[in-house]
Structure 1
């Protein structure tokens, strides 16, 4: 159920919509529903959202919001990202509150995965 004034949905660009869908399904187990050839929504990701076909990408260097995903097994998640073809932008490093790494998906969007 949607909550009043709470973040409800997230939309991200995807140069490679099909590759991005396959990547997140493989690595994180997200499920997808396509709405035409240029949009797919994801569920089972903690917050629902979607990817829209675009020529742009989201990266911290360009001032984009960083979507951060939680993992109980950070090294395993990093390995899964690499095995699925994701690029590690920043290998695992410590920060106040835990450890994390940054990666890009097949559409060159930047994400982080963190753990305690």
Structure 2
């Protein structure tokens, strides 16, 4: 993993079992279940996951970058004009935060540190 590189992509789905079946059948993706709210996929070219959501999907992908120092990169994002949409939170495997870029796109940065 390298700082500042796209590392992961995340989608939402209302039915995780149905979406998992679709991508397994269509593209042979492999999945790891992380409880009833999240599944990760691999063997797709870029690792990613699906989180359970009943929200309307406008832009279905969340691009996630990697950085080993979340505090440092968060400060740089704010100084460059970005806004924090979700402050740093923990999840199985690491921590991350979401930000809004000056054009209005939401992205995230994660770290395993």
State the TM-score, normalized to the length of structure 1: 0.49
Partner of 2:88: none
Greater percentage in strand: 2
Quote the Cα distance in structure 2 between the aligned partners of 1:18 and 1:30.
13
Following superposition, the deviation at residue 11 of structure 1 comes to 1.1
In the alignment, structure 1 segments of 5+ residues that lack a partner are: 68-116
Partner of 2:47: 48
Partner of 1:6: 5
Asked if 1:37 corresponds to 2:36, the answer is yes
Partner of 2:106: none
Q: Which runs of 4+ in 1 moved over 3 A?
A: none
The Cα RMSD (Å) is 1.9
Alignment of 1:73-112 (within 5 A): none
Q: Count how many residue pairs are aligned between Structure 1 and Structure 2.
A: 62
Quote the Cα distance in structure 1 between the aligned partners of 2:46 and 2:56.
20
Asked if 1:26 corresponds to 2:25, the answer is yes
Following superposition, the deviation at residue 56 of structure 1 comes to 2.3
Report if aligned partners of 1:42, 1:50 keep a CA contact under 8 Å in 2.
yes
Radius of gyration: which is bigger? Answer: 2
